[in-house]
Amino acid sequence: MAFVQQSSPHAHRARPTSRVMMWVMIAALPGLLAQTLFFGWGNLINVVFCIAVAIGSEAALLALRKKPVGFFIRDNTAAVTGLLLGLSLPQFTPWWVSAVAVISAIVVAKQLYGGLGSNPFNPAMVGYALVLVSFPVAMTTNWAEPATLWGGAPGFGDTLAAIASGQQTAVDGWTMATPLDEYKHKIATHTASEVLVHPTFGDGVARGWEWVNAGFLAGGLLLIGLRIISWHIPVGFLAGLAVMSLAFGSNADLYAPLSLHMLAGGTMLGAFFIATDPVSAATSHQGKLIYGAGIGILIYLIRTWGNYPDAVAFSVLLMNFAVPFIDHYTPPRTYGHHKARRGVPGSQG
Amino acid sequence: MTQLWDFSGGIHPAEHKEISTARPIRAAGLPERLVLPLQQHIGEPTEALVAVGDRVLKGQKIADVPSGTGVPVHAPTSGVIESIADLPVPHPSGMTDRCLVLKPDGEDRWQSRQPIPDYRSLDRDQVLQVIRDAGIAGMGGAGFPTNIKLRPPRDRKVGTLILNGAECEPYITADDMTMREKADRVVAGLKIMAWILRPERCVIGIEDNKPEAIAALRQAIEGTQTEIAVIPTKYPSGGEKQLIQILTGMEVPSGGIPADIGVMCQNIGTAVAVANAVLDGSPLISRVVTITGDAVRQPGNFEALIGTPIEYLLEQAEVDQSAVSRLVLGGPMMGYTLTTEAVPVVKTTNCVIAATAEELPAPPPEQPCIRCGQCAEACPMELLPQQLFWHAKATEFEKAEHLNLFDCIECGACSYVCPSSIPLVQYYRFAKGEIRIQRAEQIKADRARERFEARQARLEREQQEKELRRKERAQAAAEAQAKKAAEAEKAAESSEAGDERAAKAALVEQALARKKAKAEAARPEEPAQAPAEEAPDIEALEKQLTQARAKLETMQGMLDEAKAQQADNVDKLERAVAKNHDRVQRAEAALSEAKQSQAGQQAESQTTQ
């Protein structure tokens, strides 16, 4: 009788990539729930639409590249890219802007670089940055007013119609500047207390946003608990942002306070779900801390002195550039060696 | 309480140890034939000391290493050497190797043994010799001769002697059951080794999933200074480097051996073998083997004679032949699959898993690496498995080496956790193999270059010597000539007066020549004829002839060869030979003609004179 011939190890633990990605999607649900409860149906519709477009474009490109379509679609990575874009885009983003973001993410940033595992840049953030630069009006005027589902948010049908209409800007009364945007532009000419009366801030830190961020934080902690992500990138990310904010922005009359940086905007989504994309992130523990901290620092720099009120996408992409460099200089010290071998072979590093 | 350290990474695979610990160790009995590979250790292969047909006694040395590193092989029972042949041996490649085949006579008759209960009265070197003569090589898997290991270099004093009872691989329980049932023997062996090495500390490391073994050993060490360190169950805590880290907090330097940091690890089975060898005078002729897996109905541990075919042990464990999908020798993490159950138990065989397809299913197809880093989290050597994988796959071996590829212990933890089910260890084996080949080729190329350079140098030297000799000869010749000339001059001087007549004749001749030249100059119509006839270049013709002859000879040779081989260019060659033959004849004719004409001229000139 012929026995199976196989190289060791013969035992494996079954948590395939598809299940890892499924857990990422499950962990994003609290945040998505908060988005829906506090900002209406927009994000949910975006998420569903973006996932559908992501899977569709992934399948098309896989077919063009003559790869097994079913095998790669089942890894759920395209769905996660769609999900992340759906969670990040403004609630009333016209459908074609979302479609452009998703298609450029999957087609350009992922498949043209060789598909899963070969992309140097975070696909979702490539798509996001592309539409943010290309369609600034659609990307800045479509943030929903913080209005709970039970207290004044536009209905599902109205929201769907607004997205499907393809208009660059949605109904005026439904949208509102984001807290980070409002603070950034008003603080130059007003005091903190004057700025904070705007309804976008509400009674807490940032109406609705604080819950959304809490939701993503909870999901992120779940992922760390399941050892799907390590704590290094989120901790580096949040620490970098916090240190910068405490070092430069302790005066709330000049710069946004730490609480706003943490709980308004895409901070938690970025820290736990976006920056932790393993393919485009640094690999060693030390490298992950540096990578995360770099993103946190860049976010603060761009938010405070740059042109954009939120800056997760640009910061992540800029640090993606730095990943090979970080990886070369942060290998762990191997057992039995006095120190780590940094740099590339043949270099003095 | 012993202080413990942790090692980086590690995994917690399902243990499956309960399958084979339910029954006590059973004696496997006598199979019909014992197959004894001549090489069961690291080092030189042994050579048979017996011939086919020889009767041997149990414990008789039947093969030994003539010189160099190695330990002998003994007859596990009494019987007849039936054959010496190439048979399948336990090896990942499924290769065959030289084996002695022993047919037991069933009498199991021992040769005389010499127990040494008071080994302390002997020299340490004498005890080491006893251990060597008992054929003991590390029974944990590597098979390094124990007597050599027990004698580290003088400057490497062993301060800590560790007995490795971790047995971290799933399924395997051979050491566990040995510790449970032969705790006294284990400790006795440890004592002998401690007496040889004189360490400051003696410690037995056991994973906390073996409470029975721990209890048995606790009893056995009572009254000694040996420590028992109960360590947390985590694979690969039984890896030598990891166990040393757990028990001492020190790391074995890369490329070094534990003795470099004053530590030595010994295996449980080896300790028992040492005790048997010294206290009973029994060589290593049997060992405990775990036969387990879902495809055997009576799994458990067997005290099996070395050379027992695995097939026989599987039968003893009531294997369900139809259910076996994979036969693993060793554990599921680092063992290798067998192609046939005909291979024998050797000194390093600790476990055979007869696994069903459900038990060890084929891994799902490989997916792309997503750089998730789970492998790096699991790596006990703190390597970057995913970077090593990229470099191995891209055959960028220099980069893989830079990331310490050769520190990989191939424990399989990275492959075990990989969500993309990439066979990482296989990539590392590939890269290591390629690098080893490259190194070997480099060495070969270097040697070839050195040889070539040496040859060039020799040729040059010879050329120079030749040149030198030539010059010397030339100088000698010149000197001789000069001497001759001087003599001639002398002679001429002395005979000048008597030669006046000759001088006159010469003057006359000169005058005649002048007159002749004038006459020739006067009739320029018929010029060059005379010189052409005058100088038929005999030397050139001779040269031509020898050349033509040589050519003819080679042609003839080629023709003969072609004829012998019945090649199809025979005609052509025949024509060429004929042509060359003509050429030679012509050259001969020309030469003889030239010679004749010269002779004629000479004769003429003589007559005219």
> Closest residue of B to A11, CA-based?
B332
Supply angle C-alpha B15, B21, B27, rounded to 5.
135
Judged by a CB distance cut-off of 8 A, whether residue B12 touches chain A is no
Residue A314 one-letter amino acid: F
Which chain B residues in 136-195 lie under 8 Å from chain A, judged by CB atoms? 170
Say whether A334 and B254 touch across the interface (CB within 8 A). yes
Is some CB atom of chain B closer than 8 A to the CB atom of A188? no
CB pairs under 8 A between A and B: 163
Given a cut of 80, whether residue B503 has pLDDT beyond it is: no
Q: Residue B382: its pLDDT value, please? A: 93
What value of ipTM does the predicted structure carry? Answer: 0.86
Considering only residues B35 and B508, tell me which one the structure prediction assigns the higher pLDDT: B35
User: In this predicted structure, what is the pLDDT of residue A348?
Assistant: 42
Q: Say what the pTM is.
A: 0.78
User: Which residue on chain B is closest to A280 by alpha carbon?
Assistant: B371
Smallest CA–CA distance, residue B407 to chain A, in Å, is 8
pLDDT of residue B510: 79
CA distance B184 to B190: 10
A298, A311 contact by CB (below 8 A): yes
Task: Give the up-direction half-sphere exposure of residue A292: CA atoms within 13 A in the CB hemisphere.
Answer: 30
Give the rounded percent of residues in chain B with a pLDDT score beyond 90: 71
**What pLDDT shows up at residue B605?**
58
B398 lies within 8 A of chain A by CB = yes
pLDDT at position B500 is: 64
In this complex, is the C-beta atom of B420 within 8 Å of any C-beta atom belonging to chain A? yes
Residue A5, chain B, CB below 8 Å: the answer is: yes
From residue B588, alpha-carbon distances to A33, B94, B126, B576, B581 in Å are: 114, 72, 87, 18, 11
> Which parts of chain A have pLDDT scores under 50?
348-349
Locate tokens 């000698």: which residue? B476
> Which residues of chain A make contact with B14, given a CB cutoff of 8 A?
11
Give pLDDT tens digits for B522-581. 665 544 444 444 455 777 888 888 888 887 888 788 777 777 777 677 777 778 788 888
Cross-strand bridge partners of residue B61: B74
Q: Which chain B residues touch A278 with a CB distance below 8 Å?
A: 370-373
What is the pLDDT at residue B168? 94
CB A332 within 8 A of CB A289: no
Cβ contact B251–A6 (<8 Å): no
Q: Whose structure tokens read 């037991």? A: B104
Range scoring the smallest mean pLDDT among A141-145, A233-237, B174-178, B250-254 = A141-145
* E runs forming strands in B479-572: none
| Distance between CA atoms of residues B351 and B289, nearest Å | 5
B111 touches chain A (CB under 8 A): no
3-class DSSP state for residue B139?
A: coil
Per-residue pLDDT reduced to its tens digit, B462-502: 999 999 999 999 999 999 999 988 888 887 776 655 566 66
The single residue listed with the structure tokens 């191995």 is B392
Nearest CA in chain A to B16: A11
> What local confidence, expressed as pLDDT, does residue B527 receive?
46
Average pLDDT over residues B30-57: 94
